[in-house]
Amino acid sequence: MRLDDLRLAFPTPAGPLPVLDGVSATIGRGEFVSIIGPSGCGKSTLFNSMAGLLQPDTGRLLIDDIDRTSSTAHCGYMPQQDLLFPWRTIAQNAALGLEVQGVPRREARQRARDLLPEFGLGGFEDARPSELSGGMRLRVALARTVLQERDVLLLDEPLGALDALTRTEMQDWLQRVWSRHRRTVIMVTHDVREATYLSDRILVLGPRPTRIVKDVTVRLARPRTIDTLTDPEFLRVEALLLRELRGDGSAGPRASNSPATT
Amino acid sequence: MAGRRSLAPSSQVSFPRARTSLARTSLARTVLPPLAALLVLLIGWQLYVMLSAVEPRILPSPLRVVEQGWRQREIIADHALATLTVTLIGFGISLVVAWVLAIWIDFVPGLRTAVLPLLVASQTLPIIAIAPLMILWFGFGLLPKVLVIVLVTFFPIALGLIEGFSAAGPRAGALLRAMGASRWQQFRYVRLPAALPRFFTALRIGITYAVVGAIFAEYVGAVEGLGIYMSLQKNSFRTDLVLAAVAVTAALSVSLFLVTYLVERLVVPWNRAGAGRG
Ligand SMILES: Nc1ncnc2c1ncn2[C@@H]1O[C@H](COP(=O)(O)OP(=O)(O)OP(=O)(O)O)[C@@H](O)[C@H]1O
Ligand SMILES: [Mg+2]
């Protein structure tokens, strides 16, 4: 997947508001890449243009050398909120993407049922979203994303709404899901440790209008465990990222506080 | 994980039971107080009529209303049936008009801003002035009554639908588009189900308006129906029979109102379940 000089400005009453200022990157097949950057710098905007929901003013998005700029349905997209629908059961929510693709309803729901136990949701197939905890809802949303069988998964702060304990649990679990399904994962996060723990590569975005200011490769063996957290490489990357985020002055308290919260 | 899984079946079994007992107590709580209040009112009314010896022509006692109404039960039932028929036909047409209009507005961008003000304007037409004109133009048959009912009921329903279609929010739409959903699929999977709770709220408002609209149109001029019956009895000073017809009208409205709850329970089960717990 290649991002080639993406630029985007939102029209506002006060004139155009530039958000993406030439974002370029190449992401390999099966890589786990985190995107980190100050709040409001344009991470969700970048994701929305990658998912084809927003049209960049200039620049291209290539997947397997095919131009996919402004076309939808090539990425599994998990938005910042879980967006489960109350009128669908858990299995039906997870199957939604397949049904949209035209998979017959019964088959789609059966495939969802088959996947849900792996996501720790066995026994909850026929429950309603309102009966689930935050961590479970998140896993349903992720199951819905994974089931779509797209090569690229875009996860916008998937763990952002969870408490610290559940979050650590979900990080391990996300790593397991990724290593089993081996999709390309691009994840937005505010959490430096989370990014370091999970990723092969971390792209650091600058303040708005944003572009990639740092591309960090994480050389840590997998699977990563509690011991990884004290590995010199882990500490090196973490320090590097913190310096990068703080250095530009607009990193804000969220980024610099994050080590304490994980 | 084992703990979570073992918890699941028991909690799912207990939900329906908890739900029905909850429904039963809340039914008793919603139905009993108004019935008790009505009873107190009727007793007070009865006592007042007995003690003050007011003429029945001016104010009949509730017992007299029931007694006289019962004597005329077959005639009143015929008129009630006529009113019910007109109401259901008119309301049925109104539903079709409202759905077609709302879906049309939902699918054609820009139409909403163009059409909504006209819809609002249609609601400011004074029905008291319009209904007699309708009779004048279209006679004593079904058509003028149906038109009056449609005019007074389609707006709340159409508005409920138009707003309901976007109730799931733009992010839900974005999610569906990212999945590759067509406009029609977005409508079917998100916009339509999201609109149903609001639709049923609007349906309840609409059905009560529909009965009132039917009675009103009949009152102005009709061959049969509770409205014309009331009008005739009033002209022959049978206040008791007017009130008997009013009571039947009220019973009709309340019954139709309750039917909407039953239908809602069948069509949008998730709404109740969600509202009950969160
Ligand atoms: N539709 C829009 N119209 C105008 N401005 C927008 C729109 N969407 C986003 N913006 C602006 O673009 C900037 C980037 O927004 P975006 O949501 O991409 O940030 P983010 O990095 O995802 O933030 P967060 O960390 O809070 O999720 C913000 O300043 C926001 O106000
Ligand atoms: Mg965001």
B236-272 residue pLDDT tens = 999 999 999 999 999 999 999 999 999 999 999 887 6
Q: Are residues A238 and A131 in the same domain?
A: no
Q: Are residues B48 and B65 in the same domain?
A: no
Query: Taking the CA of residue A83 as centre, how many other CA atoms within 13 Å lie in the half-sphere pointing to its CB?
Result: 24
DSSP E strands: which ranges in A27-128? 32-36, 58-63, 66-67, 75-78
d(CA A171, CA B153): 54
Ligand 2 center–CA B171 separation, angstroms? 12
Ligand 1 pocket, A40 CB below 6 A?
yes
d(CA A79, CA A76): 10
- Counting as low any pLDDT under 50, the low residues of chain A are 248-262
Of A93, A115, A149, which one is at a domain's C-terminal end?
Answer: A149
- Indicate which residue's Cα is closest to atom 3 of ligand 1: A10
What does the H/E/C string look like for A237-256?
A: HHHHHHHHHHHCCCCHHHHH
CB-proximal residues (5 Å) to ion ligand 2? A 44
Q: Are residues A156 and A247 in the same domain?
A: yes
Q: Are residues B39 and B90 in the same domain?
A: no
Q: Are residues A94 and A141 in the same domain?
A: yes
pLDDT above 70: residue B217: yes
pLDDT above 90: residue B227: yes
Q: Are residues A172 and A242 in the same domain?
A: yes
pLDDT tens profile B123-156: 888 888 888 888 889 888 889 999 999 989 998 9
Q: Are residues B28 and B71 in the same domain?
A: no
Q: Are residues B203 and B241 in the same domain?
A: yes
d(CA B28, CA B189): 36
d(CA A251, CA B72): 83
Q: Does B29 touch chain A (CB under 8 A)?
A: no
Q: Are residues A189 and A256 in the same domain?
A: yes
pLDDT tens profile B48-84: 999 998 888 899 999 999 999 999 999 999 999 999 9
Ligand 1 pocket, A13 CB below 6 A?
no
For residue A15, which ligand has an atom nearest its CA?
1
Q: Are residues B35 and B67 in the same domain?
A: no
Number of domains within chain B: 2
* Contacts A97 to B, Cβ<8 Å: 179
Q: Does B278 touch chain A (CB under 8 A)?
A: yes
pTM of structure: 0.83
For chain B, what percent of residues have pLDDT higher than 90? 62
Of A100, A119, A149, which one is at a domain's C-terminal end?
Answer: A149
Give the CATH number of the domain where residue A167 resides.
3.40.50.300
Q: Are residues B249 and B208 in the same domain?
A: yes
Domain extent at residue B186: 61-277
Domain extent at residue A186: 2-74+150-261
Amino acid at B77: A
| End-to-end Cα separation, chain B, in angstroms | 25
Q: Are residues A160 and A222 in the same domain?
A: yes
What pLDDT does B157 receive?
94
Locate B77 and state its tokens.
């039932």
The pairing of beta strand A2-12 with beta strand A212-217: unpaired
Number of domains within chain A: 2
Q: Are residues B49 and B78 in the same domain?
A: no
Q: Are residues B224 and B263 in the same domain?
A: yes
What pLDDT does A121 receive?
92
Of B54, B69, B87, which one is at a domain's C-terminal end?
Answer: B54
What pLDDT does B116 receive?
85
Give the CATH number of the domain where residue B260 resides.
1.10.3720.10
Q: Are residues B94 and B204 in the same domain?
A: yes
Q: Are residues B166 and B116 in the same domain?
A: yes
Interface test with B, best of A47, A55, A75, A85 (most B CBs within 10 A): A85
The pairing of beta strand A212-217 with beta strand A66-67: unpaired
d(CA A217, CA A201): 4
- Indicate which residue's Cα is closest to atom 22 of ligand 1: A44
**A-chain residue closest to B174, CA distance:** A53
Residues 29-88 of chain A with CB under 8 A from chain B are 48, 51-53, 72-73, 75, 77, 79, 81, 83, 85-87
Of A101, A126, A149, which one is at a domain's C-terminal end?
Answer: A149
